[in-house]
Amino acid sequence: MRQHNKKRIKSKIASINNGVLEDWGDYKWQLAHSIRDIKSFELLTDIRFGEFERIRLEKTLRKFPLAITPYYASLIDISNYTNDPIYKQSFPDIRELDVMENDMRDPLSEDEDSPVMGVTHRYPDRVLLNVTSTCSMYCRHCTRKRKVGDKDRFLNKTQLRESIRYISDTREVRDVLISGGDPLMLSDDLIGWVLEKLSLVPHVEVIRIGTRMPVVLPYRITDELVGILSKYKNLWINTHFNHPRELSGTARRALAKLADAGIPLGNQTVLLAGVNDCPRIMKKLMHVLVQNRVRPYYMYQCDMSEGLSHFRTPVGKGMEIMEHMVGHTSGFAVPRYVIDAPGGGGKIPVMPEYLISWSTNKVILRNYEGVITAYKEPDSYEPTFCDRDCDSCRLQLNLEPGKEENPIGLVKLLGEGSETVSLTPKSNERIRRRNGK
């Protein structure tokens, strides 16, 4: 069925282009043929909307524009599109216009915590660097929906220089998260330039890229791009899969390219009503991710952004999903469930309760099966007195990495410039004789 849909979309695009189907696997071709209006979507998928619905969809698009890559559209199961997770994440829903009383344009106050254009500095040691407001696909559940399709789509080089200057002037920033929009919308050259500039800042220890390209346009992960990214040995990539169906063969190959290049991969999922608000779907998603060397990082509660109310679930649904994963599956397949605090408080982790009671020397815990256990605390624990006088502290506060300064055993013989020529046990009979003992 899916294969069939891909063929259908391909041949339709070919007929629109006077029969010339250029390379489906070329990401630039995909971007150039991205679906941006209802009519093209109908034409390509054979889905038809009624007159009344079309008018309301058009109205939705005037507020929140549409963009779907042909690749992502080809994953839609046309025979059951109203329940399809790919369709729901990419095609507008007229409920996006229902703005609820509590909905906010900028629920995370990212614009307020912005010292210079493009930078959000919320946490003490890390910043968000939004290099563009554009994406290859406009996710219907985007938390930055207010910015989707903005005119000023990319930071120009002067603005980029200014935001990088802020980072190099702010010594406490040790982690830079390049986001957007989708940073991989930038040209290879510009991506390389930003990474190079950031890696020259001595206090920047890690760089992260947040991108949905492996999901919505995996062809963007070209050998050339991977060549640029793999130069930076402190670079992490976080992507955004929400449903197991998104891990097509092409998506898996893109992930494999990144992982083979040694880039650590993480995934941030959003809990979405009608898409993945089910323990079974979520667990399967996490399993497929780790199978493809992607470590589940966060599962987000859906933000209170305008136009997202139909995607929101109660927090209890997230709790239920966590309850189904913790202990039931590999620890590293379980993401951390977080709520991004409205007003800009940052991400707040929430978890079902496992510590159920405690006394002065015992804590009572329950496990994933409901087994209740007591953990007895140590009878004697001498807390380290801390008055912040680290010089007199008994803990080892030399935090420099250890060096192999005193090789022992065979390493002593193997080392360059080693003066030792032999190792002999103390009890050796021959040496004892030699020494006349």
Ligand X SMILES: *Cc1c(COP(=O)(O)O)cnc(C)c1O
> Which residues are part of the catalytic machinery?
122-123, 126, 135, 139, 142, 144, 303, 340, 347
Region 325-384 residues binding ligand X, contact defined as CB under 6 A: 347
The residue among 12 and 126 lying less far from ligand X, judged by its C-beta, is 126
Provide, rounded to whole angstroms, the least separation between the CB of residue 144 and ligand X: 11
The residue among 90 and 120 lying less far from ligand X, judged by its C-beta, is 120
The residue among 128 and 286 lying less far from ligand X, judged by its C-beta, is 128
Cβ atoms of 392 and 385 closer than 8 Å: no
Provide, rounded to whole angstroms, the least separation between the CB of residue 5 and ligand X: 35
Question: Which residue, among 225, 296, 248, 217, has the nearest Cα to 30 in the 3D structure?
Answer: 217
Cβ-based neighbour number of residue 349 at 10 Å: 9
Stretch of 118-126, 164-172, 247-255, 356-364 lying at the interface with ligand X (CB under 6 A): 118-126
Handedness of CA 301, 36, 181, 23 (dihedral sign): positive
Asked whether position 122 contacts ligand X by CB under 6 A, the answer is yes
Region 164-193 residues binding ligand X, contact defined as CB under 6 A: 177
Considering only 38, 119, 128, 148, the residue that binds ligand X (CB under 6 A) is: 128
Stretch of 14-22, 116-124, 274-282, 321-329 lying at the interface with ligand X (CB under 6 A): 116-124
Q: Which helix (H) or strand (E) holds 192?
A: helix 188-199
C-alpha to C-alpha distance for 114 and 119, rounded to whole angstroms: 5
The residue among 65 and 264 lying less far from ligand X, judged by its C-beta, is 264
Asked whether position 123 contacts ligand X by CB under 6 A, the answer is yes
Proportion of the chain in helix, strand, coil states, percent, rounded to 5: 40, 15, 45
The residue among 34 and 179 lying less far from ligand X, judged by its C-beta, is 179
Q: Which helix (H) or strand (E) holds 317?
A: helix 315-325
Provide, rounded to whole angstroms, the least separation between the CB of residue 120 and ligand X: 4
Asked whether position 95 contacts ligand X by CB under 6 A, the answer is no
Stretch of 26-34, 119-127, 151-159, 283-291 lying at the interface with ligand X (CB under 6 A): 119-127
Strand, coil or helix: 103:
coil
Stretch of 120-128, 141-149, 349-357, 380-388 lying at the interface with ligand X (CB under 6 A): 120-128
Handedness of CA 182, 126, 152, 307 (dihedral sign): positive
Stretch of 4-12, 117-125, 194-202, 359-367 lying at the interface with ligand X (CB under 6 A): 117-125
Region 195-234 residues binding ligand X, contact defined as CB under 6 A: none
The residue among 126 and 324 lying less far from ligand X, judged by its C-beta, is 126
* Residue 27: DSSP 8-state: H
Q: What are residue 300's DSSP bridge partners?
A: 270, 338
Cβ atoms of 320 and 283 closer than 8 Å: no
Cβ atoms of 133 and 341 closer than 8 Å: no
Cβ-based neighbour number of residue 382 at 10 Å: 7
Asked whether position 126 contacts ligand X by CB under 6 A, the answer is yes
* Residue 374: DSSP 8-state: E
C-alpha to C-alpha distance for 416 and 175, rounded to whole angstroms: 38
**Binding residues vs ligand X (CB under 6 A):** 120, 122-123, 126, 128, 177, 347
